[in-house]
Chain A
Amino acid sequence: MNDKNSSLYHWFDERLGLDEIIAFARHKTVPVHSQSFWYYWGGIALFLFLVQGFTGILLLVYYRPGAEAFESVRQITFNMHFGWLIRSAHAWAANLFIFAIMVHMFSVFFMKAYRKPREMGWISGLLLLFIATLFGFSGYLLPMDELSYFATKVGLALPNSVPVVGPFFASLLRGGVEVNDFTVQRFFALHVVILPAIFLPLLGFHLWLVQKHGNATLPSEESKPAAERKSIPFFPNFLVKDLAMWLISLNILALLASIFPWELGKQYDALAPAPAGIHPEWYFMSPFHMLKILGNWMPGATGEVVGMLLFSIALVLWLLIPFYDRDSSTARQGRIAHYFGIFAVAALLVTTALGYWGLR
Chain B
Amino acid sequence: MNYPFWQVPVIGSGWVIGIIAIYHVMISHFAVGGGFWLPLAERRILREQNPELRNQWRDHLVRHSKFFLILTGVFGAVSGVGIWFAIGLTQPEATSTLIHNFVFGWAMEWVFFIVELTTAAVYYYTWGRIGDKLHQTVGWVYAGASICTLVIINGILTFMLTPGETWLSVAGTGNEASKFWNAFFNPTYWPSLVLRILVCTSLAGIWAMVTASRIDGDKYPEMKTDAVKWSVRWLLPSFVLMPLTMIWYLLSVPESQRALLTLGMDTIGYGTFSQVTRMALVIIITSATIVGVAYFIAYRNPREFTFSHAVAVLLLGLIATGAGEYSREMLRKPYVIGRHMYSNGERVSEVKDNNLKGYLRNTLWLNQRTSLHFAQGEAMFRGECGSCHTLRGYRSLDRLLAGRDRQSVGNILQMLHENKPDSPYRRFMPPLTGTPAEIEALGDYLYYQSAGDVKANQLAKK
Contacts and interface: CB of A to CB of B under 8 A. Distances in A.
A85 interface: yes
Interface in B203-235: 218
A251 B285 contact: yes
Interface string B279-294: 0011001100100110
A261 B289 contact: no
Contact of B316 (A36, A81, A251, A261): A251
Contacts of B289: 247-248, 250-251
A258 B281 contact: yes
Nearest to B298: A244
Contacts of B286: 251, 255
Contact of B278 (A37, A77, A259): A259
Q: How large is the interface on B (under 10, 10 to 19, 20 to 34, 35 or more residues)?
A: 20 to 34
A254 interface: yes
A244 B271 contact: no
Interface stretch (A19-27, A210-218, A232-240, A267-275): A232-240
Interface residues of A, number: 29
Nearest to A32: B304
B308 interface: yes
Chain B's interface: helix, strand, loop or mixed, by majority? Answer: helix
Given A77-B271, A82-B269, A243-B296, A254 B301 contact: no
Given A241-B297, A244-B297, A255 B319 contact: yes
A36 B282 CA distance: 29
A311 interface: no
Contacts of B308: 37
A78 interface: yes
Contact of A254 (B218, B285, B304): B285
- Which of A37, A241, A244, A258 is the most central at the interface, judged by chain B CB atoms within 10 Å of its CB? A244
B278 A258 contact: yes
Contacts of A240: 296-297, 300-301
B354 to A, nearest CB: 35
B285 A244 contact: no
A244 B293 contact: yes
A84 B271 contact: yes
B227 to A, nearest CB: 19
B356 interface: no
B282 A255 contact: yes
A237 B292 contact: no
A110 B316 CA distance: 28
B296 A261 contact: no
A88 B273 CA distance: 14
A221 to B, nearest CB: 15
Interface string A51-91: 00000000000000000000000000111011111001000
A14 to B, nearest CB: 29
B312 interface: yes
B292 A255 contact: no
A52 B312 CA distance: 24
Contacts of B301: 232, 237, 240-241
Given A251-B316, A259-B278, A232 B296 contact: no
Interface in B106-124: none
Contact of A236 (B269, B281, B300, B316): B300
B296 to A, nearest CB: 4
A255 B318 CA distance: 14
Nearest to A87: B271
A277 to B, nearest CB: 14
Interface in A100-146: none
B284 to A, nearest CB: 10
Given A236-B300, A240-B301, A244-B293, A78 B285 contact: no
A81 B312 CA distance: 33
- Which of A79, A240, A251 is the most central at the interface, judged by chain B CB atoms within 10 Å of its CB? A251
B292 to A, nearest CB: 5
Nearest to A232: B304
Contacts of A77: 271
A240 to B, nearest CB: 5
B330 to A, nearest CB: 13
Interface in B408-452: none
A59 to B, nearest CB: 14
Interface string A190-234: 000000000000000000000000000000000000000010100
Interface in A19-50: 32, 36-37
Nearest to A261: B271
A230 B271 CA distance: 48
Interface in B350-403: none
A248 B312 contact: yes
B169 to A, nearest CB: 39
Interface in B282-339: 282, 285-286, 289, 292-293, 296-297, 300-301, 304, 306, 308-309, 312, 316, 319
Contacts of A230: 218
Interface string A142-154: 0000000000000
Nearest to A250: B289
Interface string B12-32: 000000000000000000000
Contacts of B304: 32, 232, 237, 241
Contacts of B316: 248, 251
B348 to A, nearest CB: 31
- Which of B269, B289, B308, B319 is the most central at the interface, judged by chain A CB atoms within 10 Å of its CB? B289
Nearest to A77: B271
A78 to B, nearest CB: 7
Nearest to B299: A240
A215 to B, nearest CB: 15
Nearest to A78: B270
B293 A248 contact: yes
Contacts of A81: 269-270
B296 A247 contact: yes
Nearest to A241: B297
Interface string A291-332: 000000000000000000000000000000000000000000
A241 B296 contact: yes
A84 B304 CA distance: 40
Nearest to B305: A241
A151 to B, nearest CB: 21
Interface of A: 32, 36-37, 77-79, 81-85, 88, 230, 232, 236-237, 240-241, 243-244, 247-248, 250-251, 254-255, 258-259, 261
9 nearest A-B pairs in the assembled complex, by CB-CB distance: A84-B271, A244-B296, A251-B289, A81-B269, A244-B297, A244-B293, A247-B292, A240-B296, A240-B300
24 contacts: A78-B270, A79-B270, A81-B269, A81-B270, A82-B271, A84-B270, A84-B271, A240-B300, A241-B296, A241-B304, A243-B296, A244-B296, A244-B297, A247-B292, A247-B293, A247-B296, A248-B293, A248-B312, A248-B316, A250-B289, A251-B289, A254-B281, A258-B281, A261-B271
Given A244-B292, A248-B316, 5 more contacts: A79-B270, A244-B296, A250-B289, A254-B281, A259-B282
